[in-house]
Structure 1
Amino acid sequence: MRNYRNELYTHNLHLKELITKNGVKDIYDAVSQCTRCGYCLENCPTYLVGKKETLSPRGRNQIVRMLIEGKYTDVNTAKYTIDTCLLCGACTDVCYGKVQTEDIVLEARREEQGHNNSLIYKIIIYLKGEKKLFDICLKFLFFLHRIKLSYLADKLGLFYLLGYPSLSKGYKKLIKTPKKFLHTEIKHLTDETDIKWIYFATCGTDYLFTNVGRSSINVLKKIYGNGVFMNNECCGLISYNYGSLDDARKLATKNIELYEKIKAANPDAFIVGDCSSCIAFMKTYPQMFMDDENMYKRAVDFSSNVRDIIEVVKPEHIKNINFDYIKDKKVTIHHSCKAYNNQDLKTNEDDVLKPVLKENLIEMNESNLCCGGAGAYAFSEPEFSAAILSRKMTNISITQADITLVSATSCLMQIGYGSKTSYHTEVMHYIEFIDRIMV
């Protein structure tokens, strides 16, 4: 690392190097790849709704570069610019230099005052290590939500008193909560023989959208035969984006160890999950172990065997079709950011559904533009999230689609909320739709 006056990004809070599409680089070399051409501007959701240079990828890269060079000496002065980034990856996808702005922005966030020190984050990380206690606490919170106590807390101003005013708007996006978590239903999927796939239950699927997980397992069984439940830990994305790298590494290490135990007897089995955000992150596990040669190799082996559910369903798999279900239904696809931008899964869903739906598969304008969900973004930046969602719902309404398909759980929550407050469309995960049309 160059010895700049400002010693940002040189200590253990940060990744020492980034694995980029242009090779391994330190953060200064990575951010210096930006030539400020502006090609990213019209693909950045925050710039499209805010129309300010500081809300663009180019602006964010310039600010981070100035922080490293010491021209800015306090990252907190740029907090608004840094925190409003969706981390959607749309800029990198269209960038000729493939500047990985989301990774660069994350390094800046890690330097912010209070990052990874919030009470909510610490409680979540502690509870995630105590699964039974976490389940009990979450069921209790879901119960309070079902009896409208979250609504009462909002009216009494408790979210403001607790220092989390954004929750006043964010809690309204919570869906109908399940009474039973997915991992308790599929724990029997551990003793199968001749297994072809290993199901990774992401947190959103496990604790909120359990029907998505059921559909994934149904479809995987129909196509590939036997599989097992990994009984996994959280993938670590929450820690990586909002907390500490150490926490993310610990979770990744546990998942790698779980995979290696299963792989020993089933060397050809692949890991598959149904939230594109989590799967995209798991494919980048090697990024966190650049300083440990042994763990790096193990992470590479793990990540190379990770699959998104939308990439394992092929056109040839859809043979017997439930035509009664799809009759007269118009369908459109929101291409979730982390599938389209980060995993380069741009046509997988269309390739499968176009032969089935034909003219009833309606292409959406800006189908790959972020919906504004972006993990916890809808809670941390509710105004921006709402503006971006409004643009998405307008594009969906133009298609007049009866059904809108997504592949990430934050998109399910975000667009699901939009369907209640704006244009009404049935929002479902892509794999749920596949499950319904396969006979």
Structure 2
Amino acid sequence: METKTLSKNKYQEKLLQLSYDAANQCVQCGYCLPACPTYESMGRESQSPRGRINLVKMAAEGKIDLQKDLAKPIDLCLGCRACEVACPVNVPYGHIYEAAKEVITEQQNEEQAKQKSNLQMKIRNGTLKQLFPHHKRLRTVGNLAWFYQKTGLNKLVQKTKVVNKISESMGQMEKVLPELESPLKRHKFGDVFPPKEEKKAKVAFFSGCIMDAMMYKTNRLTIELLQSVGCEVVIPAQQNCCGALHAHQGLTDEARKLAKANIRAFEASGADYYINNAGGCGAALSEYDHLLKDEPDWFNRAKSFASKSKDITELLVQLGPLPFKKEWNGIMTYQDSCHLRNVQGVWEEPRKLLRSIPGTRYIEMDGSDRCCGSGGIYNILNYGESMNILDEKMKKAEKTKATTIVTANPGCLLQMKLGVERSGLANRVKVLHIVEALAEACGIQ
């Protein structure tokens, strides 16, 4: 690879400003290598955390080209941030990664505008900007998906494999969509739900985007579980998408706008805690202070917001015990959400809750802390690489002999359901969000 210094452009200058100091913290020791799923599956230094950091430094110094040399290695990163946990000097890899994504995407967007090309990028950016920040539009998509399942159209589509012919990754994801319940059971924004016992806390619930559009049964069950441990639950009316997908795809300005909207909405709720049930969303919410660090008027508000943001499992442990009514049959195992574990530091609470279910036989899966290959929309954009990681994950899941695999994030849920299908285990293994498992054990339907 050519390493002579090139004349730096404005994008390399911006990358220098955003990431160079953080990248220089890396001492290239290699402790991150065993923790990295893409290094394990691809076996190349450029697909390791320290390799990517070195490429970011070289690009910022003008020694390599952003698009030709850096874009693909960054794009193939899952963003799981397991390397941060393994790093002995606390290099903020996630922030370096998102800075690189921001600058790469900014340059790609400008070049695309000039060339009027790259349909995939136009669809991606259009979806993130025109769909995800709009709850009504997302709910319409969810309603159509319910109708699609209710009428049996999904079975016809799966039989003809028409979606697979357009996109194999989308066809596989369509096949494992959970069964949607009637949209009439969705909560309304602005609703308030009273506690079912003595009030212990007032919480504001973050509904999310995919969760609200496609997995609203899990949201409904989340609210009922919170009520069962003494929470008054408020649904802030003006809440929005968390911005995680936008930040991961380099649309940082859009992520900041969404963060500010959420801070305003949740501050107005007067709640003690801000609760979410999606590891990826929760990680984004917990880092709003970093996202808005350069805006003095927002930084302290963002820091306060982040301090109140909690995963549902944290509060259920804090305010529990849960009112279990049924015994669990079969073996249960748990697949960590990378962002819940590596960013929020939450891994004991889900296991404690699952082990507390009456009759449960909990078996820890080898490598449960390693990424399943979902990575937001990574499994759609980089399908082959994602499936390689997933297939290895399923070999370890099979060894537990589990009849239930539990996750704590919508992307992980769909990915593990796909893994069960690919492994031929669909007849004996089910995949549940942790909220679904706990609600079932509590007799909440």
Shift of 1:78: 2.8
Counterpart for residue 260 of structure 2? 253
Q: TM-score, normalised by structure 2?
A: 0.84
Q: Deviations over 1:99-118 (max 9, x none)?
A: 22232122222233535952
Equivalent of residue 285 in structure 2, options 282, 285, 296: 282
Aligned to 1:427: 431
Q: Hey, what does 1:136 align to over in structure 2?
A: 140
1:313 corresponds in structure 2 to: 316
Secondary structure in 1 matching 2:333 = strand
Amino acid at match of 1:94: A
2: CA distance between counterparts of 1:120 and 1:150?
24
Please say if 1:114 is aligned against 2:108.
Answer: yes
Q: Secondary structure at the match of 1:363?
A: coil
Residue 438 of structure 2 aligns with an amino acid whose one-letter code is I
Match for residue 212 of structure 2?
206
Give how far 1:206 is off: 0.7
Q: Distance in 2 between matches of 1:31 and 1:72?
A: 16
**1:45-88 Cα distance to aligned partner (Å, 9 max, x none):** 11111111111111111111111111103333332211110000
Q: Could you say what the CA RMSD is over the residues aligned between the two structures, in angstroms? A: 3.0
Change (3 A) 1:4 1:427: same
> Shift of residue 229 of structure 1?
1.0
Return the alpha-carbon distance in structure 2 between the equivalents of residues 181 and 224 of structure 1.
25
Cα offset for 1:147?
Answer: 2.1
Alignment deviations for residues 302-327 of structure 1 (CA, whole Å, 9 cap, x no partner): 1111111121121772364334x31x
Task: Describe how 1:223-238 pairs up with structure 2 within 5 A.
Answer: 223-231=229-237, 232-238=239-245
Measure the CA separation in 2 of the matches of 1:377 and 1:100: 21
Change over 3 Å in CA distance of 1:42–1:274 after alignment to 2: same
- Give the % identical residues: 26
Asked whether the 8 Å contact 1:204–1:275 carries over to 2, the reply is no
Amino acid at match of 2:183: K
| Equivalent residues, number | 415
Matches within 5 A, 1:330-409: 330-356=331-357, 360-409=361-410
Q: Secondary structure at the match of 2:192?
A: coil
Q: 1:432 to 1:141 in 2, by over 3 A?
A: closer
Distance 1:316 1:275, change over 3 A: closer
Partner of 2:82: 90
Return the letter of the residue paired with 1:114. Answer: Q
**1:32 has 2:7 as partner:** no
Matches within 5 A, 1:9-158: 10-11=13-14, 26-112=18-104, 113-114=107-108, 118-140=122-144, 143=147, 147-148=153-154, 155=162
Which residue number in structure 1 is paired with residue 115 of structure 2? none
Would the alpha carbon gap of residues 137 and 203 (structure 1) be closer, same or farther in structure 2, given more than 3 Å must change? closer
Check the 8 A contact 1:285/1:303 in 2, yes or no. Answer: yes
* Paired residue secondary structure (1:118): helix
Per the alignment, do residues 249 and 150 of structure 1 end up closer, same or farther by CA in structure 2, a change over 3 Å counting? farther
Which residue identity lines up with residue 59 of structure 2 in the other structure? L
Partner of 1:22: none
> Residue 334 of structure 1 contacts residue 406 of structure 1 at CA under 8 Å; is this kept in 2?
yes
Q: CA separation in 2, counterparts of 1:316 and 1:258?
A: 25
CA distance in 1, matches of 2:23, 2:358: 43
1:295 matched to 2:298? yes
- SS of the residue aligned with 1:198? strand
Q: Secondary structure at the match of 1:332?
A: strand
| SS in structure 1 at match of 2:183 | coil
CA gap 1:284/1:397 in 2 versus in 1, 3 angstroms: same
Distance 1:127 1:366, change over 3 A: closer
Q: d(CA) in 2 for partners of 1:152 and 1:354?
A: 39
TM superposition shift of 1:366: 0.2
Structure 2 residue corresponding to 1:217, chosen from 223, 233, 241: 223
AA of the residue aligned to 2:108: G
Maintained 8 Å contact 1:363/1:399: yes
Q: Which residue does the alignment assign to 1:21? A: none
Cα offset for 1:197? 0.8
Question: Which deviates further from its counterpart, 422-431 or 305-314?
Answer: 422-431
**Distance change >3 Å, CA 387–CA 115, structure 1 → 2:** farther
* Separation (CA, whole Å) in 2 of partners of 1:365 and 1:358: 22
Aligned 8 A contact 2:59 2:70 in 1 = no
State the distance in 1 between where 2:193 and 2:359 align.
41
Identify unmatched segments of 5+ residues in structure 2. 111-120
Does the C-alpha gap of structure 1 residues 80 and 124 become closer, same or farther in structure 2, counting only changes over 3 Å? closer
- For 1:9 and 1:139, how far apart are their aligned partners in 2? 44
